[in-house]
Amino acid sequence: MFLFLLFVTPFVFAENNYFRLVIHGGAGDITEQNISEELKKEHEKKLTEALQAGYTILSQGGDSIDAVQAAVMVMEDSPLYNAGKGASLTVDNKVELDASIMDGRDHKAGAVAGVSHIRNPIMAAYKVMTKSPYVMMGGIGAEEFAQAEGLDIVEPSYFIIESRTEQLKKVKEISQKVEQEKGVNAALYQDPLMYDYKYGTVGAVAVDIRGNLAAATSTGGTTNKHYGRIGDSPIIGAGTYADNNTIAISTTGLGEAFIRTVAAYDVAAQIKYRQTPLAEAAKNTLNSVQEMGGAGGMIAVDNKGNFIMQFNTKGMFRGTIGQDGVPQVAIYGL
Ligand code: ASP
């Protein structure tokens, strides 16, 4: 009987009858007053498209690591989000992109930071994870590596859209006031929510039918950031984390606060060491982020398919899909 169980059990339980994908498109001051009905519909459509890209993979028995990448790429290619095309601009009118990805099966991870020519930074992060001995690469080195790996390289102008140029102009006006009033360099005195009503970073987490977890995050960072500034999104443990025994998680918000609280890992650690329920762990970490003067949100999933989409801002672009294939998307707070 024992032998029978020993050989049969792994086979019987090798596949779950469930899987789940959860995505976000950034948190912030997202309210009905700030978003037109038309823009809301565009977001709902794009979030659904991102969910479907991941669902196609997961429903065919594909890996969560591929599903999160596919979902993030849809949002990187959309000018609606602050990642890839349409990313927010630096103080000197440029785009500097950060991204990371992590595989919960073996804790392998990859990240790129401060890149300006890679069309899909999340693919570059994946290549760092799978084709290099490193976890993180930055700047020109990362770009040359991505090119050698056959990824699409584009002119920086590909990423820049008019509304971001307008946004930067407005932010600079506010910055000048801050500089006059507070006597500080506004590009260093960062509170993006003061300048913009949303962050717009994108992320995805998933559990596949084998119970494997994965997480991915991609961003242009904060508007008017000093060139060279790197946020939490490419930092494993702050913006992204995945571990099959606890959770896969992706965060969005004021990066400095998420780095200082080691936010993504902080949620996982509460579950690992204290068996804290996921929603409670996320709340605790968001409270710590707030204590550091930050705001934002996070999505996470565990290997049972339990998930959260939590934020301490007014709203967060978000969505989820499971084995029933019905996409659910939301924008405002509850
Ligand atoms: N966390 C990102 C950063 O600080 C910004 C965002 O979430 O939109 O770079």
Q: What are phi and psi of 15, to 5 degrees?
A: -125, 135
- To 10 degrees, what angle do helices 263-274 and 278-291 make? 140
Tens-digit pLDDT profile for residues 233-255: 999 999 999 999 999 999 999 99
Q: What is the mean pLDDT of residues 192-210?
A: 79
CB atoms within 10 A of CB 38: 8
Ligand 1 neighbour 219 (Cβ under 6 A): yes
- Catalytic center residues: 201
* Spacing, Cα 251 to ligand 1 middle (Å): 8
Give the predicted TM-score (pTM) of the model: 0.92
Q: Are 167 and 160 in contact (CB under 8 A)?
A: no
Task: Give the number of C-alpha atoms closer than 13 A to the C-alpha of residue 48, restricted to the C-beta side.
Answer: 10
Distance from residue 313's CA to the centre of ligand 1 (Å): 13
Nearest CA to ligand 1 atom 7: 252
Inform me whether the pLDDT recorded for 167 exceeds 90: no
**Would the pLDDT of 232 be above 80?**
yes
Identify the bridge partners of residue 110 per DSSP, sorted by sequence position.
101
| Tokens found for residue 35 | 């978003």
What is the average pLDDT score of the chain? 91
- Check if 201 has its Cβ closer than 6 Å to any atom of ligand 1: yes
Is residue 67 within 8 A of residue 242, CB to CB? The reply is no
| Cα distance from N-terminal residue to C-terminal residue, the chain | 51
Ligand 1 neighbour 317 (Cβ under 6 A): no
For residue range 22-44, list pLDDT tens digits in order: 999 999 888 888 889 999 999 99
pLDDT, residue 180, reads 79
- Whether 88 lines ligand 1, by a CB cut-off of 6 Å, is no
- 101-158 per-position pLDDT tens digit: 999 999 999 999 999 999 999 999 999 999 999 999 999 999 999 999 999 999 999 9
Give yes or no for residue 11 having a pLDDT over 80: no
Report residue 62's pLDDT band, with 50, 70 and 90 as the boundaries: very high
CA distances from 47 to 42, 201, 218 (A): 9, 13, 15
| Rg of the chain taking only CA atoms, in angstroms | 19
Select from 29, 96, 232, 298 the residue to mutate for testing ligand 1; criterion: most ligand atoms less than 8 Å from CB: 232
What pLDDT band is residue 228 in, cutting at 50, 70 and 90? Answer: very high
